[in-house]
């Protein structure tokens, strides 16, 4: 069986791996020049390890991606980096029941109420009823008004912007239920893991075409044709892993009711400014800092080298300044220097020792389909892996639910769609 796969992110890699392992002839088409998609990265001269374009880590219960890493023989590092929250009067560690108990911004009663609600979410596996209610309403009633105002509202507003009141409570549940205290990271970076999976696929006689954008898909006889830059190749089956509206745009012959329904799925983009520094930036060896001040122009600061040692990166300290934004936000037209200029006054407020002298280099990375928005009753709005065109399958980030999107679910869904293709 000849299978075409569009996209070499972790969904496409997983589907290609399991199909090629089962003996299918697999060809992967990727518009970029490396595997890994949004979890891919880059290797600066003099670094031993690659760095993700956007901050990435794994939870220790991410069994699908950890299982695949084990299968291809890739080492995973486990650690306990610190997560904290910034308010204009300081940084508060906030990553365990004990640190919540010490969180002075809430009264003891509110702390206990928030802790009890989080403990309940951690043990309750029943998410389905929660998709009927908005997170905001759910958190307010369960954890109290103060907890919502201080801890959660700034994060929702900064992460989801105009959709912050509409995200369903199953999404919130998944964030609490799934998070582990320890975090994991592939040795050498996610790009290195992606390369290892790519190598296995090639050993299984799979092929990769990079810098090859698929322009058009159509049914041709009993097969599916993939058109790239004037060249047409036909396949018994095709798996498309790109965002749903892009899939609809390039596919000929989808019924109108399908296109109209799924064209409406909403996503926010992500922008990460990456700064290489000659010194640590975040005080207290923090890895992750949520920025809970609404007038700051970013939602989080992640100091990657407070999790993975700077020695892998020529002793440079690597900092992400992260944002989730609508596709038409002005920052999508900013270059790295303009963003750095915009963010510098705020970076100085968080650490008054921050100065231009510390900076070695800056990069900016932008992706427009970074965070799907899950409204109430979202399970009714998820497209199936099977599409109305026989032999053509859709498997992408917008089908990950109720979990928040992540490489673990990309691998899980990639494997499921591979099994479906093999059975079909």
Ligand X SMILES: Cc1cc2nc3c(=O)[nH]c(=O)nc-3n(C[C@H](O)[C@H](O)[C@H](O)COP(=O)(O)OP(=O)(O)OC[C@H]3O[C@@H](n4cnc5c(N)ncnc54)[C@H](O)[C@@H]3O)c2cc1C
With b meaning 16 or more CB within 10 Å and e meaning fewer, what string describes 84-103? bbbeeeebbbbbeeeebeeb
Min CB(217)–ligand X separation in Å: 9
Nearer to ligand X, 57 or 196 (CB): 57
| Nearest CB to ligand X, comparing residues 94 and 150 | 94
Q: 169-178 vs 135-143: helix axis angle to the nearest 10?
A: 60
Alpha helices in 317-395 (DSSP H): 336-350
CB of 172 to ligand X, least distance (A): 17
Nearest CB to ligand X, comparing residues 6 and 51: 6
Q: Among candidates 63, 12, 26, which has minimal Cα distance to 422? A: 26
Nearest residue (CB) to ligand X, 55 versus 173: 55
Burial grade of 44 (CB within 10 A; 0-12, 13-18, 19 or more): middle
> 3-class DSSP state for residue 243?
coil
Q: Which is nearer to ligand X, 57 or 111 (CB)?
A: 57
- Count of residues in the chain: 424
Comparing CB distances to ligand X, the nearer of 14 and 147 is 14
**Residue 248 C-beta: closest distance to ligand X, Å:** 12
Which is nearer to ligand X, 52 or 136 (by Cβ)? 52
Q: Report in angstroms how near the CB of residue 53 gets to ligand X at its nearest.
A: 8
The residues, ordered by sequence, that sit 6+ positions from 382 with a Cβ below 8 Å of its Cβ are 398, 399, 401
In the bound complex, what is the minimum distance in angstroms from residue 198's beta carbon to ligand X?
12
Query: What is the closest distance, in whole angstroms, from the C-beta atom of residue 96 to ligand X in the complex?
Result: 19
Whole-angstrom Cα distance, residue 228 to residue 216?
A: 7
According to DSSP, the residues that pair with 219 across neighbouring strands are 224
Closer by beta carbon to ligand X, 51 or else 106:
51
Q: From the CB of 37, what's the least distance to ligand X, in Å? A: 2
Helix boundaries (H) for 252-357: 256-263, 336-350
| Complex with ligand X: residue 173 or 247, whichever CB lies closer | 247
List of residues 6+ apart from 66 with CB closer than 8 A: 58, 60, 76, 184, 408
Shortest Cβ distance from residue 319 to ligand X (Å)? 14
Residues 6+ positions from 151 with CB-CB distance below 8 Å: 85, 94, 106, 114, 143, 292
Minimal distance in Å, beta carbon 358 to ligand X? 23
Q: How far is the CB of 418 from ligand X (least distance, A)?
A: 13
CA distance 322 to 297: 9
Contacting residues for 58 by C-beta, under 8 A, at least 6 apart: 65, 66, 76, 183, 184, 185, 186, 406, 407, 408
Shortest distance in whole angstroms from residue 304 CB to ligand X = 11
Nearer to ligand X, 110 or 412 (CB): 412
Helices (H) and strands (E) in the chain, counts: 13, 20
Tell which residue, 41, 20, 58, has the closest CA to residue 205: 20
DSSP 85-99: EEETTEEEE-SSHHH
Residues at the interface with ligand X (CB under 6 A): 6-12, 29-32, 37-39, 54-58, 213-214, 241-242, 246, 270, 272, 322, 367, 370, 396-397, 405-408, 410
Choose between 166 and 367: whose C-beta lies nearer to ligand X: 367
Backbone dihedral angles phi then psi of residue 35, each to the nearest 5 degrees: -80, 165
């Amino acid at each position: 069986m000849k299978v075409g796969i569009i996209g070499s992110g972790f969904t496409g890699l997983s589907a290609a791996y399991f199909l090629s392992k089962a003996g299918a002839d697999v060809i992967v088409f990727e518009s970029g020049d490396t595997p890994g998609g949004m979890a891919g990265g880059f290797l600066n001269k003099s670094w031993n390890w690659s760095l993700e374009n956007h901050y990435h880590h794994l939870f220790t219960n991410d069994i699908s991606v950890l299982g695949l890493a084990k299968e291809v023989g890739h080492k995973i590092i486990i650690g306990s980096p610190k997560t904290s929250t910034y308010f204009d009067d300081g940084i508060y560690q906030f990553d365990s029941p004990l640190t919540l108990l010490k969180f002075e911004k809430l009264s003891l009663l509110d702390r206990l109420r928030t802790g009890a609600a989080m403990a309940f979410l951690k043990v309750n596996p029943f998410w389905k009823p929660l998709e009927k209610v908005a997170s905001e309403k759910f958190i307010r009633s369960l954890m109290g008004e103060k907890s919502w105002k201080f801890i959660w509202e700034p994060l929702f507003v900064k992460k989801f912007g105009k959709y912050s009141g509409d995200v369903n409570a199953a999404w919130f549940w998944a964030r609490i239920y799934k998070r582990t205290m320890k975090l994991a990271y592939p040795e050498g970076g996610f790009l290195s893991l992606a390369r290892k999976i790519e190598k296995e696929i090639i050993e299984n006689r799979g092929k990769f075409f990079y810098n090859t954008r698929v322009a058009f898909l159509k049914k041709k006889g009993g097969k599916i044709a993939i058109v790239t830059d004037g060249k047409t190749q036909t396949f018994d089956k095709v798996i498309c892993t790109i965002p749903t509206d892009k899939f609809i745009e390039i596919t000929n012959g989808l019924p109108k009711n399908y296109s109209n329904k799924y064209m409406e799925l909403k996503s926010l983009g992500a922008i990460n400014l990456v700064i290489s520094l000659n010194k640590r930036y975040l005080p207290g060896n923090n890895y992750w800092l949520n920025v809970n001040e609404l007038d700051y122009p970013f939602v989080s600061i992640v100091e990657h080298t407070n999790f993975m040692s700077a020695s892998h990166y020529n002793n440079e300290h690597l900092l992400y300044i992260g944002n989730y934004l609508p596709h038409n936000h002005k920052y999508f037209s900013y270059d790295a220097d303009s963003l750095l200029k915009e963010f510098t006054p705020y970076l100085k407020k968080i650490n008054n020792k921050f100065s231009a002298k510390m900076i070695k280099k800056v990069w900016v990375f932008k992706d427009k389909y970074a965070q799907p928005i899950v409204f109430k009753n979202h399970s009714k709005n998820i497209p199936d892996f099977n599409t109305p065109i026989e032999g053509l399958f859709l498997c992408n980030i917008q089908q990950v639910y109720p979990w928040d999107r992540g490489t673990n679910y990309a691998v899980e869904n990639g494997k499921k769609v591979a099994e479906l293709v093999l059975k079909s």
